A and B are shown apart, each in its own frame.
Chain A
Amino acid sequence: AQTVTQSQPEMSVQEAETVTLSCTYDTSESDYYLFWYKQPPSRQMILVIRQEAYKQQNATENRFSVNFQKAAKSFSLKISDSQLGDAAMYFCAYRSAVEYGNKLVFGAGTILRVKS
């Protein structure tokens, strides 16, 4: 079974600075997707960024970018020019492209605090 590990329970960043959230995963598959989801306090979870494993190029979405290291099974999220609205719980998630049902497997999450 696939597992996702987020080793940083909590991170802090100063407004306008850059922060990197770590994620590692374990799988024997070669075809899969990786995601970062953001969950603000008492609000619904939203997709931040998605990476297809077959793509070597790292995904970017405005201030959000990933560092995808397939051999190392690492998938970190970089947030540039941090804003107060970035404060939330961030979940890294794995989804098989071959397993029936394509279940989304989440890590335990990292709380990001943004200081003004």
Chain B
Amino acid sequence: EAGVAQSPRYKIIEKRQSVAFWCNPISGHATLYWYQQILGQGPKLLIQFQNNGVVDDSQLPKDRFSAERLKGVDSTLKIQPAKLEDSAVYLCASSLIGGAGGELFFGEGSRLTVL
């Protein structure tokens, strides 16, 4: 079974530029998550989708971050304009169900460096 795919793995940009990350979840997984993992910290949820609807985006900085999951499968996370503090690993995860006991399967992450 293929895992959660993310691209690009690494990205370096200047501040105020834009960047987009792509995620393809495990086939059949209805729930998709984007987490931000800053060096030395645990992952923090940015946004959670159930199919193509948003369940939780309370910690998404909406003035610069946006995410979509148009057909309930792939998802894109965009940052525009980027700030220095956005340097982090962006993790995508998916789960078969959205319930509390459901296991999350993570991708390898996309590491962003903002200069």
Q: Would you list which residues of chain B between 10 and 60 have a CB under 8 Å from chain A?
A: 33, 40-45, 48, 55-56
Which chain B residue shows the least CB distance to A98?
A: B100
Indicate if A32 sits at the interface (CB-CB under 8 A).
yes
Indicate if B108 sits at the interface (CB-CB under 8 A).
yes
Q: A52, B3: Cβ atoms under 8 Å?
A: no
Q: Which residues of A contact B99 (CB under 8 A)?
A: 102
Q: Which residues of A contact B93 (CB under 8 A)?
A: 45
Mask: chain A, 43-55; 1 = CB below 8 Å from B; 0 = not? 1111100101000
- Docked pose: A21 CA to B102 CA in angstroms: 23
Mask: chain B, 99-111; 1 = CB below 8 Å from A; 0 = not? 1111111111100
Q: B55, A100: Cβ atoms under 8 Å?
A: yes
Indicate if A42 sits at the interface (CB-CB under 8 A).
yes
Q: Is the interface of B mostly helix, strand, loop or mixed?
A: loop
Which chain B residue shows the least CB distance to A106?
A: B42
Q: Which residues of B contact A104 (CB under 8 A)?
A: 33, 45, 104
Q: Which residues of A contact B4 (CB under 8 A)?
A: 44
Q: A91, B101: Cβ atoms under 8 Å?
A: no
Q: B56, A43: Cβ atoms under 8 Å?
A: no
- Docked pose: A102 CA to B42 CA in angstroms: 17
Q: A43-B108, A108-B42 are in contact. Are A102 and B98 (CB under 8 A)?
A: yes
Q: Which residues of B contact A108 (CB under 8 A)?
A: 40-42
Q: Which one of B55, B98, B108 lies within 8 Å of A42 (CB-CB)?
A: B108
Q: Would you list which residues of chain A between 11 and 51 have a CB under 8 Å from chain B?
A: 32-33, 42-47, 50
The 5 closest A-B pairs by CB, nearest first: A106-B42, A101-B56, A45-B106, A97-B100, A102-B100
* A-B residue pairs in contact (CB < 8 Å), sample of 12: A32-B100, A33-B101, A42-B108, A43-B108, A47-B104, A52-B101, A96-B100, A97-B101, A100-B56, A102-B100, A102-B102, A106-B42
